[in-house]
Amino acid sequence: MTNPPERVAVDPLIGATLDARYRLDGLIGRGGMASVYRGEDLALGRPVAVKVFAAAAEGIDDDERRKSETALLASLSHRALVRLYDAAHDAGTGREFLVMELVEGRDLRDALRVGALGAPDAARLLADLAEALHVIHARGIVHRDVKPANVLLEPAHLPTHTWNAKLADFGIARLIDDARLTRTGLLVGTPGYLAPEQVTGTPPGPPSDIYALGLLVLEARTGEPAFPGPAIEAASARLARDPDIPESLGSDWGALLRSMTAREPGDRPAALEVAVAAAALDTSSPVDRVPSTDADTVASTVASTEAATEVLPDPAHDLGPVLDDDEATRVLPAPASSRSAVPTAADGGRRRRRWVGPVVAAAILVVVAAIVAIVLATTAGGPVGGDPTPAPMPVVPGELGVHLEDLDQAVTE
């Protein structure tokens, strides 16, 4: 007796036309809350991605609310945001759905299955996604579910890189009524990327997205999720410990990722600050990386650049953090009057580190040579030629020169 062949389930929505306009041609992917289809906008004759929710979602079927929220989300335009075209309720199927830009390519989750990203790709990814988050945060929108599966990699047309990252699914929490989520016990977000405040039930704000982005980029660099394991274990782990950030990533990467994944929301930088800091990250290989004498260059870069940048007001988060001297690896909130106290330029810290080492080494050699000459002259009964005055120390400009003069006086007295 042979077993009958397994029956392949047929998706009833494939081939259907929603709202008499959007034809669904094939399934792209399916999640817990919704399924995404490749479709066509019959009115405009263009390909689209249609996200169909598994059950009726209160708020989207409110016509006035849907129009206002869709208008807000559709007005957001950035190269790293998947554009939202429409949101509607289909009377025939009773389903709520979103219509979005169709991005050809895979998502970051699939890309990381092949291996971790190199420093240049990860830095560009971080800069683009942080800038995109700044755009939506400035309009009062919190993503709530930043994760690799929501980062789409669109093929690029430049020889310098192979793809461009686009953040998808922003604003869904605004379209779905929070009251429904509370009643059903649902939590918008993925356990492996939730911020600590989300785990404890505190309403998420822009810092929650920054925390998730920090975990995402850390995973992109290492190839491993920061908090693996079952959902409850992964979600609760961040309440007890910070993610492990390998020293091999470099001090600037470590400083930025630690600030982004601080357990207190107020200790995290804003999205714009992260974007600026990401552009200044060291993307050289570990062999070529110049040893750093300042582990907090990224934090100081964030603080100084923010003071010179005009920032759009964000009603949900204060965009005025600066570097705190006592906690140098974090970016902390402070009054706006203290911002000008940080004088560094965007890449000034790195340039200083490159020349300070050689200058100090040369100065030490000069001092050692002078001391040896003095000792030899004293031992021989005086300098050659009978001149009792030793040759003056070479002049070194700046604060380093002052220290050398003090050392010279200590030696000759």
Annotate 298-333 with b (16+ C-beta within 10 A) or e (fewer).
bbbbbbbbbeeeeeeebeebebbbbbbeeeebbbbe
Assigned token pair, 50: 């249609």
Instruction: Let me know: does 224 contact 112? Beta carbons within 8 Å.
Output: no
Looking at residue 62, what DSSP letter applies? -
Which residue matches tokens 């003069």?
405
d(CA 70, CA 247): 44
Active site residue 408: no
Find the catalytic residue in 90, 145, 252, 314: 145
Instruction: Let me know: does 254 contact 244? Beta carbons within 8 Å.
Output: no
Assigned token pair, 27: 């399934």
Instruction: Let me know: does 255 contact 329? Beta carbons within 8 Å.
Output: yes
- Say how many CA atoms lie within 13 Å of 366 toward its Cβ: 18
Residue 164: which H helix or E strand, with range? Answer: strand 163-167
Looking at residue 174, what DSSP letter applies? H
Which residue matches tokens 């402070």?
334
Strand partners, 322: 332
Assigned token pair, 336: 């706006």
Identify the CA nearest to 213 among candidates 164, 256, 266, 252.
Answer: 256
Radius of gyration from C-alpha coordinates of the chain: 29
3-class DSSP state for residue 47?
Answer: strand
d(CA 144, CA 204): 7
Which residues have a catalytic role annotated? 145
